[in-house]
Structure 1
Amino acid sequence: MDSKDLEAEIHPLKNEDGKLQESLGNQLKKEDNVKSTPLQSRLSRCRTVAFFLSLFICLLVVFVISFIIPCPDRLALQGMWRINYNMAVTYDFLATKDINKDKVQDVLFLYKNTNSSNDFNESCTLEGFSSPCSFVAAVSGANGSTLWERPAAQDGGLVLCDVAQPRDSGESSACILMDRAGSLIAVNVFTGETLWSQPSSFRRNSSILSPLLQVPDLDADGAPDLLVLTQEEEEVSSYLYSGSTGHQIGHQGSLSVGKTSDFLLYVTRAGAHYILLPCASSICGHSVKDIYEKVTGRDSSLRRDPSWENMLNATNPRLLLHSSGAINHLMNVPGKGGEDLLVVGSEACVLLDGQELAPRWTFSVAQVFRKPILGRYKPDTMAVVIENGTGIDRQILLLDLSTGALLWSQALPGLPGDPQSASLPTADHRSAFFFWGLHELVGANQTEPGDSQRSLYMFHPTQPSVLLELANVSANVVAFQVALFEPGRHAACILLTGPANPDAPGLVSVAKHKVQDLILSSRVVRLTEGGPDSDQATRDRLSRLRYQSET
């Protein structure tokens, strides 16, 4: 017999008890299930209600955001815009700053409208000027719309922007304008409102030298101050002004220098500020500390540099530097331990060590009439652009700033009145360079601005055998600038054109052109025969360049 059957036969009661217990257990489980079913049902209904309620809230939020709350308008960014003023004149000033906080750089410029409109006449009169007067205007870099404009001077002058104001004034920075007569006015760069104004304190027959210089806070009012140099007959004079009020600091001072063509504010590696001026074949130098103490009779917390003081002649403030020709320009340039000094003479360019003023290198040139610009030819390696000669004989030279070695050169005929060259850093740690020259090679006798069209050319070191002719301009270019309007994306050229003679009003125009658009429609000028890329491939490659800010 099977073991189970045998066990059941021997113990019948035990088997019955087991079945009874098993039946009883199943019955109890069924009862527990029946009791728990209502609770589970209620929990299930609660979870369903919570799910649909959450879904409804999400849909409601999406509906409100999509249809009820208006989305901010997307910025209408135009690649090209132009503003025209009839019967007007303009001045050599352009600046960019994000004025309306839309993350796109805006444009500041000066113009004088000789139109007899009552609006212009009344605006000039309200600000204490006779009509016509000069206006400073701010226009949107996105579409060229006017943000603000206001009378700021009787007749043009010099402008210095981003001058910090004292913290307790409630203003972050200002643009300070000095007109040709010497009156000073400061305006809020964001609103155009006048912060302060001061009348001229110059002598008669004084001519103001460019530019205005921003020096450290001399009067301890929490804002940097201004240094203005003037040419008075055969003497260069200095004037100090408060950057927060425009009041003159001390009296007029003399720099014991005759006529000068250029000057520079230089900071030595010891932190001392000096004004450097070309003096024939030498450089004259004055510490800002000495200038302040002489015109005020008070001590200053500014520094002198002992090594520079030893190089200065005690009786005649000339640095111990002698050039084989006249010195035309002085430039601050980055060096290994600080800033170095680039001296551009009539016969050579010399890079001087910023502390000892010992020559680092010398490069012979024929004629350099224009101040050089800086850029990068090799990745992260500074280069200096020199325009050697003028007219048909002009050459563009790119020199390695650290060694003076010639990196690239190209003959590019130009005109004496051509605008300044420019450069803009690219994302590959080089620079795009922009040069002005003649549209076509012309005869040697065509050297007047009206005889030929100017052309704007672009060069990038990755294409050393190619120039792009971006635009042809027949109008007189008063000021030119290349700027990064949007970080990494939108680089643009700004052209300010107007009458060459300020006494003959005409059409004044301010125009912005997106660099990428100019490249796509440009003419490819090949500097050598052949090349692996077609013209269109070259345009496409350079149009994909990305730009970055100077810092």
Structure 2
Amino acid sequence: MRPQGGAGPGALPPGPPHPTGSDARGGPERPAAARQQLRQPREGAAAVAYDFLAAEDVNKDKIQDILFLYKNTNSSRGNSSFSCADEGFSCPCTFVAAVSGASGSVLWERPVAQDRAFVECGILQPRGSAAPSACVVLGRPGSLVAVDTLTGKTLWSQPSSFGGNASVLSPLLRVPDLDADGAPDLLVLIQEENQVNGSIYSGGTGQQVSPPDSLGVDGTSGSILHVTRAGAHYVLIPCGTALCSRSVKGLYEKVSRRDSPLKSDPLWEDMLSAASHRLVVHSSGAIRYLMNVPGKAGDDLLLVSTEAYMLLDGQDLTPRWTFGTTQVLRKPVLGYYKPDTPAVLVENGTGPDRQVLLLDLGSGAVLWSQALPGLPGDPPSASLPTADHRSAFFFWGIHEPTDSNQTEPGAAGRRLYMLHPTLPGVLLELDNVSVPIVAFQVVLLEPGRHAACILLTGPASPSPPGLVSVTKHKVQDLVLAGRVVHLAEGGAESDQAVRDRLSRLRYRSEA
């Protein structure tokens, strides 16, 4: 399918070429600086990686550092100054680690849970605390631990009362500060049999602010916290083809029997069925994802079902537009295709039938589309805002030249592509990776100039365990070594001119 859209105003000017060699795929040789191993365990270490990456300036050098999770299956300390036994866990147990975004050195690593954990980082701590922020880890069996992101030290640890058959519905949801300690609190949703229960915990101490209470629904993972135009907080949970909801105010006040400063929204209370706690949403299939997205007067809701994308007004839930799909397995990614105009990147279909599309968030119109076969287990897509008020988009797939004689798709590994809206007729193949990828992010490590692709690689299951590593790929170096893919004939610029233009992109932080 031919790409849609044009360069428009603000396109990057051409510049002088960079001298470089070439590789067998038609692109220049990749410089060694394009890859930097941020963390690799010692020889013989055995571990399992978890699908989690976060960026935060841990050592206060004004460069973002990387936090990740892994399960250490080796009973010795290895690189860490702590073993599982030091924190009261049996081996194997789950570690959280921080590595320097500048040098790749390990800043700290520490055991935090016995088994697989849910993590929320960047949780502000109470006024006067020595730690400005924390990573809060919810592990099994029930434990809630806050780790100082600067030092890795445990700030507090609390048991959590989950039943043996209970499962935690990720993610952990930040709610307003109900215990008035200056730190946001956390809502934990637990699925037990056919019931979802909610508990609120203090983000500053881990103590239970509100004991478990049934939300009266049977939901699935993917819940979000939505703030209505009246300033009221509601939990939204996918419930098959329906959308279930409960106000945080009602959940807290019912169990604690105390008033709260939170608001309620009369319109939403009228829309909610008192018996089923369901909102009237006409979804054409089972709801897979919910997202808060920017609207004209507050956040709207992007609902992704098995058969369609639907943008709902964030207040009265009326549909603004619907875009039909055949099969959606990925959460969409927000960005900017036109300057300061939100767009959403979607993946429609799987395997050889997969398409990557960019939709205008306001209207649902297709801005760009391309057939791009994918492989099972491809990492999610990503975007990063650029200085021209657009975004660079990053996604994985397989684009073979028409004269390629490669018979097995993906035989060379998973391939990462970059698209910038000023060059809609070109993809840049940045890298191909043959090892299993557990997590992937594109991060602005330094404001304005140092963007990097971060890969967490290694086994995702303990059968068998293996090496877990975090690698930084500097975007500018990958661009200069990338293979240019022309999606349509007649491009006036040479491959090197395309690389030069994209290498001069400057990136900015999210607003």
Q: Is TM more than 0.5 here?
A: yes
1:111 to 67, 70, 80: 70
Go from structure 1 to structure 2 and tell me whether the alpha carbon gap of 1:531 and 1:130 turns closer, same or farther (over 3 Å shift).
Answer: same
Deviation (angstroms), 1:123: 2.6
1:134 aligns with 2:94: yes
- The one-letter amino acid paired with 1:84 is Q
Could you give the per-residue CA deviations for residues 37-79 of structure 1, whole angstroms, max 9, x where no partner exists? xxxxxxxxxxxxxxxxxxxxxxxxxxxxxxxxxxxxxxxxx75
Deviation (angstroms), 1:133: 1.9
Deviation (angstroms), 1:118: 4.9
- Structure 1 contact 206–231 (Cα < 8 Å) conserved: yes
Cα distance in 1 for residues equivalent to 2:258 and 2:284: 40
2:35 to 69, 73, 80: 80
Q: Structure 2 length normalisation: TM-score?
A: 0.88
Cα distance in 2 for residues equivalent to 1:180 and 1:92: 16
Q: Which has the higher contact order (CA 8 A, sep 6+)?
A: 2
Partner-residue secondary structure (3-state), 1:506: coil
- Structure 1 contact 110–156 (Cα < 8 Å) conserved: no
Partner-residue secondary structure (3-state), 2:128: helix
Deviation (angstroms), 1:256: 1.8
Deviation (angstroms), 1:208: 1.1
- The one-letter amino acid paired with 1:87 is A
- Structure 2 contact 169–220 (Cα < 8 Å) conserved: no
Could you give the per-residue CA deviations for residues 257-282 of structure 1, whole angstroms, max 9, x where no partner exists? 22424211101111100001122222
Could you give the per-residue CA deviations for residues 453-479 of structure 1, whole angstroms, max 9, x where no partner exists? 211110111111111111111111111
1:374 to 308, 329, 334: 334
- The one-letter amino acid paired with 1:88 is A
**Which range moved further: 523-532 or 509-518?**
523-532
Task: Give the aligned partner of residue 507 of structure 1.
Answer: 467
1:494 aligns with 2:454: yes
- Structure 2 contact 190–197 (Cα < 8 Å) conserved: yes
Task: Give the aligned partner of residue 286 of structure 1.
Answer: 246
- Structure 2 contact 293–300 (Cα < 8 Å) conserved: yes
**Which range moved further: 122-131 or 145-154?**
122-131
Partner-residue secondary structure (3-state), 1:187: strand
- Report 1:350-365 matches (<5 A): 350-365=310-325
- Report 1:33-44 matches (<5 A): none
- Structure 2 contact 293–301 (Cα < 8 Å) conserved: yes
1:475 to 424, 435, 444: 435
Cα distance in 2 for residues equivalent to 1:366 and 1:242: 42
Partner-residue secondary structure (3-state), 1:540: helix
Partner-residue secondary structure (3-state), 1:403: coil
Task: Give the aligned partner of residue 75 of structure 1.
Answer: none
- Structure 2 contact 219–238 (Cα < 8 Å) conserved: no
1:518 to 444, 469, 478: 478
Cα distance in 2 for residues equivalent to 1:405 and 1:490: 33
Task: Give the aligned partner of residue 535 of structure 1.
Answer: 495
Task: Give the aligned partner of residue 336 of structure 1.
Answer: 296
- Structure 2 contact 34–478 (Cα < 8 Å) conserved: no
Deviation (angstroms), 1:502: 3.3
Partner-residue secondary structure (3-state), 1:169: coil
Task: Give the aligned partner of residue 95 of structure 1.
Answer: 54
Task: Give the aligned partner of residue 413 of structure 2.
Answer: 453
**Which range moved further: 114-123 or 195-204?**
114-123
**Which range moved further: 321-330 or 270-279?**
321-330
Go from structure 1 to structure 2 and tell me whether the alpha carbon gap of 1:122 and 1:428 turns closer, same or farther (over 3 Å shift).
Answer: closer
**Which range moved further: 377-386 or 292-301?**
292-301
- Report 1:7-18 matches (<5 A): none
Go from structure 1 to structure 2 and tell me whether the alpha carbon gap of 1:205 and 1:439 turns closer, same or farther (over 3 Å shift).
Answer: farther
**Which range moved further: 366-375 or 217-226?**
217-226
Larger Rg: 1
- The one-letter amino acid paired with 1:144 is G
- Structure 2 contact 50–460 (Cα < 8 Å) conserved: no
Task: Give the aligned partner of residue 148 of structure 1.
Answer: 108
1:309 to 264, 269, 272: 269
Task: Give the aligned partner of residue 22 of structure 2.
Answer: none
- Report 1:14-53 matches (<5 A): none
Partner-residue secondary structure (3-state), 1:212: strand
- The one-letter amino acid paired with 1:292 is Y
Deviation (angstroms), 1:236: 1.6
- The one-letter amino acid paired with 1:462 is T
- Structure 1 contact 159–177 (Cα < 8 Å) conserved: yes
1:268 aligns with 2:228: yes
May I ask how many residue pairs the two structures share in their alignment? 472
Cα distance in 2 for residues equivalent to 1:190 and 1:440: 45
Cα distance in 2 for residues equivalent to 1:121 and 1:428: 45
More helix by share: 1
Deviation (angstroms), 1:125: 1.7
Cα distance in 1 for residues equivalent to 2:227 and 2:142: 27
- Structure 1 contact 235–257 (Cα < 8 Å) conserved: yes
1:171 aligns with 2:131: yes
- Report 1:209-220 matches (<5 A): 209-220=169-180
Deviation (angstroms), 1:452: 6.3
Partner-residue secondary structure (3-state), 1:102: coil
Deviation (angstroms), 1:295: 2.5
Partner-residue secondary structure (3-state), 2:468: strand
Partner-residue secondary structure (3-state), 1:209: strand
Cα distance in 2 for residues equivalent to 1:287 and 1:339: 17
- Structure 1 contact 438–453 (Cα < 8 Å) conserved: no
- Structure 2 contact 170–221 (Cα < 8 Å) conserved: no
1:186 to 137, 146, 153: 146
Cα distance in 1 for residues equivalent to 2:353 and 2:332: 17
- Structure 1 contact 439–454 (Cα < 8 Å) conserved: no
Go from structure 1 to structure 2 and tell me whether the alpha carbon gap of 1:364 and 1:439 turns closer, same or farther (over 3 Å shift).
Answer: closer
**Which range moved further: 526-535 or 244-253?**
244-253
- What is the aligned-residue RMSD (CA, Å)? 2.1
